[in-house]
Amino acid sequence: MNKLILIIRILLGLLLIVFGSNKFIDFLPAIEFANPDAGALFGALAGSYIMKTVGLIEVIAGLLLVINKAVPFALVILAPISINIILFHLTLDPANIGPGAFVFLLNIFLIFKYWDKYKTLF
């Protein structure tokens, strides 16, 4: 089970580093939205400081996960981002929910596995 957690932690970290970096460098192809409202919202967010901030948080969380430092902290700062990814796709772009759902599920799985670190918060 420890090897599975290691693989999931590194995989999630690498995904965050790649997709977070893409918000600065734009090396991945643009997402095609079937719903024009999804494209309008995403375009408005991309044109502001918000997506750069989200990208920076994703890269920081991804690096922390890959180097195995402050993993519970990284998972906590990633939680609101992964929830917003899911909500965006559920409400505006269900066709492209796959990668976001994958990140969300990996985040939830790791939070569950590190739950003993969060007990003092609750």
pLDDT in tens, 8-45: 999 999 999 999 999 999 899 988 888 999 999 999 99
Q: Please tell me the predicted confidence (pLDDT) of residue 121.
A: 84
Q: How many domains would you assign to the chain?
A: 1
Asked if 81 contacts 16 with a C-beta cutoff of 8 angstroms, the reply is no
Range of the domain at 69: 2-117
* Residue 122 included in any domain: no
* Residue 56 included in any domain: yes
* Residue 51 included in any domain: yes
**69: left (phi > 0), else alpha (psi -120 to 50), else beta?**
beta
